[in-house]
Structure formats: structure tokens, C-alpha cells
Structure 1
């Protein structure tokens, strides 16, 4: 049991610091943003499970298994006394594991509720202040001179453009921008970023949480570029991005919580659009997928093992 706790603790530490730093500074995610996004999700999920699992394994070591520990402790939580073979450290570990799990779950729920409220407010404002764009279902136009484009996700989605944006772009460039925003909606990028925003909210003092959220936001922009590239080609999107600059899309989407992408994102996007994307070799793609699966499976299998 203590060996399991030590292994999970080592995994949690690795996924909390060196692994995210290495992934954030790597060059290959620009060539395979979908795989990089999956790996970021695996790191976040496995890291949380490993932290909780290591504490559970250490706390349960006093009874030999987690179920046996619960059978020992639950009847005595109110009336006492705590069984003698449970020391202060084991009790503290179990308490911290339960508290951390509840904390992360509540932050995720609260972040989701807050995002849903913001989306509803955005839809109400859009209905009041915008007009449909002819020939583009689900696309609305705001009377505003500043060139902006963003999308509002949810059960009812909307792509929002301003008069200033429409006036600044050629028809093919405008089609590329719309395709970019619709890719955000079709690939449910708001749900991906929601989990990382919740992670950052739960651990605001944790610098890697902020870096992960920004990296994920950047990857969703690259994926949206790839969706537009498939629809209109790279050249119209490149011209639109170059003409409008980084401020044309204030956030990845309307409920992104005010987190802006990396300041160098526009330059990175233009580089990707200037040249054909060189896919990763099959061996590397398989290795990334296998790594993501192993990362998530390790704490899950370990926690199942400590149950009995």
C-alpha cells in the first residue's frame, strides 16, 4: 500500500511540474494540436487522480485496503474512538484526499454554472443588439466599428461578427473567419477550456494551472485554424489574421473567463498558415496516444487495487 502511495505521489509531482513545462515548451504540438490537447487533458486528469490516490493509499495503509479502512473508521467518526492503528498522518491523509476531491468537484460545478449563466446573458444581448447575417445561418452581426469575431457556445450557438469586421475583409476572408469560429463550436472547445479554467480556479496559486489553461487556449485556436483551412484554404485566413491582428478575436470564445491566448499566438498562427503542416510520424502519434492512455490508466488501476 505504501509503495502504491509512493508511486502515485511521484506521478502527481511529475505531472504537476516537469511534464507540463516540457509540453508547454515543445515544438511538436503545433504540428498535432489535437494530440497535444488530448495529452494536456490526460496530464490534468491523471495529475488530479494521482494526488487523491496517493493520499488515499497512504491513509488506507493502516487497514490494508481502502474498503477495510472505511469499515474501520465510518462507525467511529461521530461516537469515536478512532481505531488505535490509525495515526495522525493516516487520518490527515484521508481527510485531505476527501477535501481535495470535493474542492475540485465543486470548482468544476461552479465554473460550469457560471459559464452557462454568461452564455445565456450573451445570447440575450445578441438577440437584442444584432441582426442575422443573410446566407449564414447562426451568424449574427453587431453594429460596431471595431472589427471583432467570436462565438457563443451552448445548446443554441451563435457566431458574432461586427460591421467593422465585415467592412474590413474580402468575402473569402470573411468566410474563413466564420469557418474558424464555427470550428470552435463544432469541436466543443468551450468544454475543453472549461475544465482547465476550473483547475486554475481550484488552484489559483499553482503556476502550472495558468500555463496549462493558456496552452490549451492556444491549441484550440490552432484547431480552429485547421478547420477554416479545410473549408476555405489557408490563404484567406492568413490574410484575415494578418489584416486584423491579435485583437480581432478578444477571447477564444465568449465564456473563456477573460483568459487571453499567448501574446505570440498571432505570430505562431501566421507561421502555421504560411507553410503546409508536416504531420507527425505515425510512431510518434501512436506514442503520444499511448502515453495519454497510460497516464490516465495508472492512477485508476492503482486506486482499484487499493480498494481491497
Structure 2
């Protein structure tokens, strides 16, 4: 009972308390890629903690005190060994054992179900958009993009197979060569970074736990952070003025649902960040944050599955 209470408290801390502080912290905007990794690890930590808490709450004391060995024996996957010299017997799982396993499994199965459903829906949407692009778009070998005749300036990528970067006629008319290439570099950063996969994880977690502060903050913050990470990649090859101008011109452009666009509601925040750069967190700070985030999902495993 004590172990289950500790695990439940840890899940509550990760799911409700930590996200509020992390969402207000200033450093994520200075290290967006690291911050996205932290959000994803917090999501994993919550699932592990909640699953183990449910397991320990329902399982019998015998299996609880035996930690991971008890869990495996309840599944019928491991024999119970009460001593080195005693006869090894297989523990028969009880009704409570099955209930504990079902409770823990549901916490894991719920986000997995939504992940599969989200991935299936996104794949169908990308296929429809690709079919549309084949009809209305024309390739531009000079920019490695697909041009769509539309007066509103927009630049976006479609992370399909093959991935496409799309530019509207309005963007070609509004941007000069350097600005356009900066915008294209931003979109290719999304493709190379597999940011659409991160989006699917965030969306699935939010649907699995819609009332959880971690789900809400992780999705809101990470979508902005992914755009900032793509901005940083584009700035490695292009000037701040070029990227900032491109960002202004395409800010109002709307993109299809399965696509990742350079504009959108986060454009103003990102524009200020591009024009007034802040130093990255110190290397020791980044290492400490990464170490703490990586260790977060390990703690409930040690607490719940260790021989305590």
C-alpha cells in the first residue's frame, strides 16, 4: 500500500505539478529541442508511474513485496523460488492478480490505442493531400518544392512518402530568393527531425488523458518548441533578417491539417525570438536537465519493481 501511494503521488507530481512550472520556465525557448525531449520523457514517466501504481494497488501483498519477480510470477511467466534449496513451484495467478494486471495494462493500452488511431488518421489525411497536390501542384526543381497556384503566401511541408515541401504562388511573389530558401530550410528541418511523429505522440497522449495538465501543457508547449527548433536549424544557414521576413510574410497562411506550416498563431512569439536572440543555457544546465529527465521514468521502475 505504501508503494502504491508513493507511485500515485509521483504520477500526480509529474502529471499535474511539474508541467505548470515547466510551462512557465524561460529556458525551454532557449533550448527547444531539449525541452521537447523533456516533455516526452515526462509523458513516459506518467504512464509508467500510473501503471505501476495501479498494479501495486490491486495486486496481493505477496507479489507487491516481491517486486518485479512477483509481477512476472503473477503473469505465470516466472516460477516462485522461496529459497535456493527449496523446490521451485509456479504461482497460480488469482483474480486479484488478473485485476492488477488489467489495471496496469489499461494505463499503457489507452495511449497506445490513441497513438495507433492517430497515426492511421494522419496517414489517410496525408494520402488525400498528396493526391490533391498531384492534381494542382507542379514541381520546382530549383527549390526542391511543389508550387501551388494560390494568392495567399504559405510555405509548409507534408511529411508523407515521399515528403513534400509546398510553396504557394503568393509566397513566391512576396519573398526574395534568400527569404524563400530560409523558409524552405525551416520546413525541411521539420521533415528531417521527424516532427510529425512527435506531434502524433502528443496528440495521442492528449486524447488518452484529456483532463491531465501534463497532456495539455505538453501539446501546447511542444508544438511551439518544434517550430522554434526548426527556426534554429534554418538559422544555421540563413540570416535572421531573411528568416524573420519570411516568417512575417507567411504568418497568415493556412495549411492543410496533416501538414506542418511555417506560419500560424506562434509566428509573433517566434519572430521576437528570432530578432532578439537569447544565449543557450549553460552546458552544465543542459546536461543536468537531460540527466534529470532521463532518470524520471527510471525512478518508478526502481520503486515499483525493486526488491523493497
Q: Please give the TM-score of this superposition, normalised by the length of structure 2.
A: 0.85
Query: Match for residue 50 of structure 1?
Result: 49
Query: What does the per-residue CA deviation read over 1:197-247, in whole Å, with 9 as the maximum and x for residues that have no partner?
Result: 0011212333442331111100000011111111212110111212333x2
Task: Give the 3-state SS of the residue equivalent to 1:141 in structure 2.
Answer: strand
For residue 219 of structure 1, what is the aligned residue in structure 2?
225
Alpha-carbon distance, 1:91 to partner: 6.6
What whole-Å deviation, never above 9, does each CA across 1:59-107 have from its counterpart, x for those lacking one?
23433222333349x9677xxxx4xxx5xxx775543222222222111
SS of the aligned residue for 2:138 comes to strand
User: Where do 1:23-34 residues align within 5 Å?
Assistant: 23-34=22-33
Deviations for 1:113-161, whole angstroms, at most 9, x for unmatched residues?
1111112222121112100113122x10111111111111133100011
Instruction: Report the Cα distance in structure 2 between the residues aligned to 1:76 and 1:287, rounded to whole angstroms.
Output: 42
Q: Summarize the Cα distance change of 1:206–1:5 in structure 2 as closer, same or farther, 3 Å threshold.
A: same
Task: Give distance in 2, aligned partners of 1:67 and 1:202.
Answer: 27
Partner of 1:189: 195
Name structure 2 gaps, 5 residues minimum. 64-69, 81-90
Alignment length (residue pairs): 289
Distance change (3 Å), C-alpha of 1:165 and 1:17: same
Unmatched 5+ residue regions in structure 1?
A: none
**Corresponding residue for residue 134 of structure 1:** 141
Q: Match of 1:279?
A: 280
Q: Measure the CA separation in 2 of the matches of 1:16 and 1:132.
A: 46
User: Is the Cα contact below 8 Å between 2:7 and 2:53 reproduced in 1?
Assistant: yes
The residue aligned with 2:127 is 120
Which position in structure 2 is the counterpart of 1:16?
A: 15
**1:170 correspondence with 2:176:** yes
Please tell me the root mean square deviation across aligned C-alpha atoms, in Å.
2.6
**Conserved 8 A contact 1:15-1:43:** yes
Aligned 8 A contact 1:180 1:225 in 2: yes
Mapped partners of 2:175, 2:246: distance in 1: 7
Q: Does the 8 A contact of 1:152 with 1:254 survive in 2?
A: yes
